[in-house]
Chain A
Amino acid sequence: MKKTTLILGVLFVTSVFAQDDKVIYQYKKYEKFDLGNLEVKGQLIAPGDISVRERERKRFEMDLYNRKDFDNFIKKDVESLR
């Protein structure tokens, strides 16, 4: 029991002191990759050749004006009388 209490006390003190230390991370300024030497391990699941599924080209047709009636002419005729 005494041992356990002592270990916990040491750990507590260590962690308290550790918070006060400033950690400085330093990255490598230069790193060389040898792509030719890289090896990726895994299973190849992509198709071996490039394939595009064929579909018909989308064709947007304009809604060209097609006269359905002469209602505006009928109105105009009535108005043109008086």
Chain B
Amino acid sequence: MKTLLTLWILTLSIGVGAAEKLKTDSKTLSEKLEDKKYYYSALNEFFRETYNRQVTAADVTRLEELLFFTGIELLDDYEPSLLDRYPTSSTRFILGRKALLDKNYPRALEYFNKVHPGHRYYPETKLLESQVYDKTSNVPQEFESIAQCQKSAEKMESGAPGEKIKRYYRMIYEICVVNKARHYYKEGDYKNALAAYEKIPKSSYKWPYILLEKAWVYYQLGDLNRTLGLLVTYKSPLLETYFFPEAEYLAALSYFRLCLYQDATTIITQYYQVYRPRFTALENVLKQNRNSQTYFYNLMFKPGEDLKTHEDFVKQIITRLKKQTRFSLDFNSVYKINQEIKRISGKEKAGIKDKLVNHLNEVKGNMVAKINYNAKVDIFEFLETVPFFSSELFKLNLEILAKKKDLVYGNKKLISDRSRGDYSNIQRSRFEYFWKFEGAFWADELGDYSLGLKSNCQTIRREGDGE
């Protein structure tokens, strides 16, 4: 009886094993690759297998599963007509984003409306959708999309498994908040803009950038002391990587509006003598590598010998670039592709290995070229702001000279005897605490500074000098 039972179990197990084998054999190559967790290779095979046949619901589900592991970064180069055949939320998101960048707003909305509310790209979809409504001047819908963006981003953040994914959703949430503030600014509603900016905590990655925007809001509100106080924050050691020519210009402009011409001139002179020559030299070095496919990618990890003298500036720009979500996602893809190449190289036989590795190297090359391109564009866009604000500072300098000339022609002089500020000139709400600046920056007080300068624009008649 025991022997019979053993034989039966053995037969049964053989049968199950054979069926399993048969099932395995009936699997497509992409499925086999997916089973081995070669997701990037599987994704490529999946498109090969399905692009010239009817796409089924099962295909759509599978594509979403694969994209969950690979991310959508490598689909950026795919033909929209190909992606359009796969009605997944991910592909809809990519296509909507492309349409938005191409300024085809109705098409963008069409795609965004088809992204599922439970999908991981839903908050970003709502962010982009708000942009479409902004471009088409549909304010109620824009605010509605912003509200949905914030709500869904918060929800996704709370359920996110890892710290990096949480940060991604937090970033989207904050961009939506800031975009609302920017909308108010554009409308001239500075009080509401300020209230929206205040919602960004100091721990946020966006916060250092927000300082400049808030400084503009205070400038428009006429609180020039607060503008200057916010811009002083960039001088703290914690924010030394954040150098913006626009911040220098705004500081000089604020001093100019306070008729503190000497202070404005000091900023202008420093800009011309210190920053501009260094940026021009840096630009010249970088221009030589404008057409390289890898130079800027390599720069992200180590500046070359030719940049040694500009290392500080390069480091500052690169540090900012590395904090971008885009860089994290792209670089993460390169890392995962490398891991897949290693595993394939170690485990697979020569024929299939060469085929898969060659393809993965191509994909990796594309990703590296993409990072390289994005870094190059960002660096040059930043460097281009330098001559623009140089020109604006030059105009400001001329204006200062003209004002001084007016005083001479009018036989007048400014009232100030260069006494520096008073606490009575500081505007603050009843909710704000107050401490004196003792010559040191404290992390918790960054961004809350205000200068106490009095406007120097009152003039008095110049007394005769006895000649």
| Residues of chain A at interface, number, CB under 8 A | 21
Q: 8 Å CB contacts to B: which residues of A60-81?
A: 60-65, 67-71, 73-74, 77-81
CB neighbours (8 Å) of A79 from chain B are 326
How would you classify the secondary structure of chain B's contact residues: helix, strand, loop or mixed? Answer: helix
Q: Write out the residue numbers on chain B whose beta carbons fall within 8 Å of the beta carbon of A3.
A: none
Q: Is B7 an interface residue (CB 8 A)?
A: no
- Whether B263 sits at the interface, judged by CB under 8 Å, is no
- Is the Cβ of B213 less than 8 Å from the Cβ of A70? yes
Residues of A within 8 A of B398 (CB): 62
CB distance from B251 to the nearest CB of A (A): 13
Please tell me if the beta carbons of B171 and A62 are within 8 angstroms of each other in the complex: no
A82 B325 Cβ-Cβ under 8 A: yes
Closest Cβ–Cβ distance, residue A69 to chain B (whole Å): 4
- Flag if B396 contacts A62 (CB, 8 Å): yes
Closest approach, in angstroms, between the C-beta of A45 and any C-beta of chain B? 35
- From B76, B134, B172, B213, A81 is in contact (CB under 8 Å) with B172
Contacts of B213 in A (CB 8 A): 70, 73
**Which B residues between 169 and 197 are near A, CB-CB below 8 angstroms?**
171-172, 175, 178-179, 182, 185-186
Inter-chain contact total with CB atoms closer than 8 Å: 66
A59 at the interface (CB under 8 A from B): yes
> What is the distance, in angstroms, from A50's C-beta to the closest C-beta of chain B?
21
Chain A residues near B73 (CB-CB < 8 A):
82
Please report the C-alpha to C-alpha distance between residue A42 and residue B166 in the assembled complex, in whole angstroms. Answer: 99
Specify which of A62, A63, A82 lies most central, judged by the most chain B CB atoms within 10 Å of its CB: A82
Check: A53 CB closer than 8 A to any chain B CB. Answer: no
On chain A, the residues within 8 Å of B329 by CB distance are 82
A55 at the interface (CB under 8 A from B): no
Which of chain A's residues has its CB closest to B253's CB? A64
- Which residues of chain A have C-beta atoms less than 8 A from B186's C-beta? 68-71
| Given A67-B216, A80-B325, A81-B171; A74-B182 close (CB under 8 Å) | yes
Q: Please report A residues at the B interface, Cβ cutoff 8 Å.
A: 57, 59-65, 67-71, 73-74, 77-82
